[in-house]
Chains A and B, each alone.
Chain A
């Protein structure tokens, strides 16, 4: 049984200029412990699909099964929105513990667990610092710590590294990969960065421009891990994907 099964998702939005179809019969499976990345041009409906998976948006048609179950998905996934969502009045540690508080888990245990993860996330010493005093890379790590601390099996990551400068981004990609190797969760990542997708994923879904539909599935299972961006296999795969995606990017 796949950790996540998505079948025939359709979604359109009504705008002043008429109805815009965003998702067009999107279908895919994600196995437990697998890292799946949705790769597609900007504005193709990647965020919409993640919001549907998180249960925040009802699809017009199609269905989603989480661990074989069909009900409401609110509270069952760890969703990381694209925008900065740290709460400014909470310290880094309090932000990371938000999900535990909402679940009503014992706070002392949640605190100890968060402290452990802060060490692994290179955030030690910044527990009591407010987000406004943290650098962009650190804020992103706090958000990822919050996501990992949610005790949910499925992580939904919406361009988590999108707002960072290239250097921070590159170092965080490698770090994220190491963390994921250690904690092994099922991940659905959405990005338009081809190199990031090749570095991180077990499998790629190539989405078309709006309305998004799965154009092709690319397995990266044969690319050995740990991957570095200079590995010949990574470079070759990246080049192949870029040429494959090129016609979609052109206006």
Chain B
């Protein structure tokens, strides 16, 4: 337990120490690479501004992620229930992932303007695929025997979905959601780079142009914190929703920890 915190912490300290020392001893100018101490000071002194832009970005992420999760979830259920729909759409879903979202982000600005929507759409597009694929895998993971059991009890299609397929797919769904959350930070940032007046992506671009590199790093730090916050929140919801797994998973990790 101590090792799980202590080892990464000392590693981070070492890395920051080397960075600080290198920047100072080689006399690297602040507008090329500021030392970590300077970034930390900027982060705390400019925190109100960073928080304001962070709130904008977080809002875009939350909206985009919600869209990705809802559409991905519903589409996965539809695809699971219709063979022909799946055959028809699967190539397009896969192709949509080959498409670099970067490339269509400027178009989204043309279509949707400079407001919040192009960012939300970019975020949703990026997060959509992991949700669909993982939920679809989860729905397929149910064994034939349990399906047989419920059918023999006289379950309707709806009961089969709510009592068996959906709960069985939850672990997969959460893996997809966590991946989508990680990607959504990237999505919102790209969306803001292409055209925005607010948000951490905008702040990064602005500060970069003015050679305020410490503010660029402070924005990156803020984005990282937002990503960690989202991931942590999802972990908490996942723990609660999959508490039936805790017992088995807990003993397995205890065994690993003991070895």
Using CB atoms and an 8 Å cutoff, list the residues of chain A in contact with chain B.
51, 54-56, 74-79, 81-83, 85, 87-91, 98-99, 101-103, 130, 132-133, 150, 156
Contacts of B154 in A (CB 8 A): 74-76, 102-103
Using CB atoms and an 8 Å cutoff, list the residues of chain B in contact with chain A.
143, 145-146, 148-155, 159, 163-164, 167-168, 170, 242, 244-245, 247-248
Select A87's contact among B146, B148, B152, B153, beta carbons within 8 Å.
Answer: B146
Bound: A78/B150 CA distance, A:
10
CB of B163, distance to nearest CB on chain A (Å): 7
Contacts of B245 in A (CB 8 A): 88, 132
Bound: A14/B236 CA distance, A:
48
Is the pair A81, B149 in contact by a Cβ cutoff of 8 Å?
yes
Is the pair B244, A102 in contact by a Cβ cutoff of 8 Å?
no
Is the pair B143, A87 in contact by a Cβ cutoff of 8 Å?
no
Contacts of B167 in A (CB 8 A): 87, 89
Would you mind naming 5 contact pairs between A and B with Cβ atoms under 8 Å apart?
Answer: A55-B151, A78-B153, A81-B145, A99-B153, A103-B154
Select A85's contact among B149, B242, B248, beta carbons within 8 Å.
Answer: B149
Is the pair A130, B145 in contact by a Cβ cutoff of 8 Å?
no
Contacts of A150 in B (CB 8 A): 153
Bound: A102/B155 CA distance, A:
6
Is the pair A130, B244 in contact by a Cβ cutoff of 8 Å?
yes
Is the pair A51, B247 in contact by a Cβ cutoff of 8 Å?
no
CB of A106, distance to nearest CB on chain B (Å): 17
CB of B164, distance to nearest CB on chain A (Å): 7
Is the pair B143, A102 in contact by a Cβ cutoff of 8 Å?
no
Is the pair A77, B146 in contact by a Cβ cutoff of 8 Å?
no
Is the pair B244, A89 in contact by a Cβ cutoff of 8 Å?
yes
Closest 7 A-B residue pairs measured CB to CB?
A75-B154, A79-B152, A132-B248, A83-B145, A81-B145, A54-B152, A89-B244
Select A74's contact among B143, B151, B247, B248, beta carbons within 8 Å.
Answer: B151
Bound: A76/B153 CA distance, A:
7
CB of B160, distance to nearest CB on chain A (Å): 9
Contacts of B152 in A (CB 8 A): 54-56, 74-75, 77-79, 156
Given the interface contacts A102-B155, A103-B154, does A132 sit within 8 Å of B145 by beta carbon? no
Nearest B residue (CB) for A132: B248
Contacts of A56 in B (CB 8 A): 148, 151-152
Bound: A56/B154 CA distance, A:
10
CB of B24, distance to nearest CB on chain A (Å): 55
Bound: A205/B141 CA distance, A:
36
Given the interface contacts A132-B244, A133-B247, does A54 sit within 8 Å of B148 by beta carbon? yes
